[in-house]
Chain A
Amino acid sequence: MVRRIAGLARIQVDDDKLPALAKELSAILGFVEQLSEVDTENVKPYTSPVEMQIKARADAVTDGGYPEDILANAPEKDDGYFAVPKVVE
């Protein structure tokens, strides 16, 4: 289980660390599990501390046009593209 979660999150975990992590994660889950004791039958999901509408933008092009900034931190780039280790499904 821990191995799988680590895999999904792309975190490298050595085998000898697994038992300790499993214990820690179980403790966290147990702590959060306490919330299920609260009756939430008629409570709407909490989405924001203030009553407000989602903020929106107009359909106007106001951004972009700086490829050198976008690529500035790329470990490797080629001809305006990010260059990454080959990924083929």
Chain B
Amino acid sequence: MTDKTTENANLIAGATGDWEIVIGLEVHAQVSSDAKLFSGAATTFGAEPNTQVSLVDAAMPGMLPVINWKCVEQAVRTGLGLKAQINRYSVFDRKNYFYPDLPQGYQISQYLQPIVGEGEIEIDLEGGDVKTIGIERLHLEQDAGKSLHDQHPDLSFVDLNRSGVALMEIVSRPDMRSAAEAQAYVKKLRAILRYLGTCDGNMEQGSLRADVNVSVRKPGGDLGTRCEIKNVNSIRFIGQAIEHEARRQVDIIEDGGEIDQETRLFDPKRGETRSMRSKEEAHDYRYFPDPDLLPLTFSAEFVEDIARALPELPDDKKNRFMQDYSLSAYDAGVLVSEAENADFFEQAAKGRDAKATANMVIGSVFAGLNKAGLSISESPVKAEQIGQLVDLMSDQTISSRIAKDVFDLMFDDGPDQGRDPADIVEEKGLKQVTDTGAIEAAVDEVIAANPDKVEQAKAKPKMAGWFVGQVMQATDGKANPQAVNQLVLAKLGIEDQ
């Protein structure tokens, strides 16, 4: 893929010609840890208000922050997963602003010297193309509390449970050129974080949220003024917000206006962005090093130990699946999207026809789980049983059509749910009929009963398919379809194509 072709495909049309969208993302990922970044309070989602708040998180006078070392490990682990530079010396700064859910009056963050520097992510685009997106930095910071504005006519309610929870802010380069690329970036970043176990990636609960920077320009021209769309919390909304915002900017410029650099909010109900803060109130954060915290330093061995324990990441796993199991890029991509899904497939495929197993896992298991709203660990059919089912197909005991029926019995609510496929096949007499004599009798019967169709088929060989269908029906789908096909063609006197 050359850069030129994709960028052309991504242009949006305006009255004065084509425009190019330029997108950069700041993703806030909640660090997976039991306790907060600088206190011993819990981080569990959904607790009663203000029950997971220490005196540090409530910013009581004289309280001092002490860093949770697990959060440092998680940041380094994530940095390594992003093939990024790890800074063994970094500094915590105070970012000052007033808001009721920020009791300290400042957020402890990292400004000029973050823990992780430049890295990169490979994103998967439609048609199997791959594009590299630069990572500018990753830093550790505190989350704020949560404000509820809709509980009371004149008051806002504040819950500090989230106050002080560790976040990783991951900043990309403005390397994306379409909503689809931005969505692919978030999907890949989320997969990497989940593989690493450094963030659960749960967007509904706010563990992963994105600030989207969007500007437009004439292709190859200077960068335009950007707007930042805050806190978009689903991959679908990220796409919608970008499409709407780019169109809005093009319309303003083409009407002779100028883009104000501002923070905007995406309204999912209306599918549009709107201004959040006026320029006059533009924030001046007055960053300075936090005097309560020494610089964050660690040894090279600490980094090496984490590097040695890194799991296989999605890209590597995908390549291995394509190589070892001869799977297509698409199938491999679907299987590795979640580590648990990939494990399920590998267990099922062990020592078997990998392609047939992949088809069964993607086409039946994932589709069934999706429909039932279950996760892979809740699957009524175990990986080993999928393997057994594939074996029954491979050794011709059952046809692929019967296999689908057997799978449904094993998966759906009912007396056969969770049973081994061989038992079901045996008990229900679903074994494929390969006995030529029996199939021949069935074929003869159908031919004898339909003399008119026989004449039609002789003139129009495609009609043979109708006979095959009839025979399959007469044998409850148990006849070997290839054998039936051959016999039908022979009996009708049609040349095998």
Contact = CB atoms under 8 A, between A and B. Distances in A.
Interface in B151-206: 151-160
Mostly, the B contact residues are loop
Contact of B50 (A60, A62, A80): A80
A55 interface: yes
Interface string A44-55: 010110001111
B463 interface: no
Interface in A68-84: 69-71, 76, 78-84
Contacts of A17: none
Contacts of A76: 155
A13 to B, nearest CB: 16
Contacts of B72: 56
Given A55-B66, A81-B50, A60 B35 contact: yes
B277 A89 contact: yes
Contact of B156 (A52, A69, A79, A86): A86
Given A63-B39, A63-B41, A83-B157, A57 B100 contact: no
B156 A87 contact: yes
B139 to A, nearest CB: 15
Contact of A56 (B67, B99, B155, B289): B67
Interface in A4-27: 8, 10
B49 A59 contact: no
A43 to B, nearest CB: 15
B294 A52 contact: yes
Contacts of A47: 289, 294-295
A53 B41 contact: no
Mostly, the A contact residues are loop
A8 B106 CA distance: 12
Interface residues of B, number: 53
A56 B66 contact: yes
B39 A85 contact: no
B453 interface: no
Contacts of B160: 70, 82
A85 B98 CA distance: 14
Given A8-B286, A56-B72, A80-B50, A64 B149 contact: no
B48 interface: yes
B34 interface: yes
Contacts of A79: 49, 157
B329 interface: no
A67 interface: yes
A13 B355 CA distance: 74
B40 A57 contact: yes
Interface stretch (B51-59, B216-224, B419-427, B479-487): B51-59
A11 to B, nearest CB: 11
A61 B34 contact: yes
Contacts of A29: none
Contact of B69 (A45, A59, A82, A84): A59
Contacts of B126: none
Given A54-B67, A56-B69, A83-B155, 16 more contacts: A53-B297, A58-B68, A59-B69, A59-B71, A63-B40, A64-B51, A65-B51, A67-B49, A81-B148, A81-B158, A82-B157, A83-B152, A83-B156, A85-B154, A86-B152, A86-B155
8 contacts: A59-B35, A59-B68, A59-B69, A62-B35, A64-B51, A76-B155, A82-B159, A83-B158
Closest 7 CB pairs of A and B: A59-B70, A62-B40, A64-B41, A63-B40, A81-B157, A63-B54, A82-B158
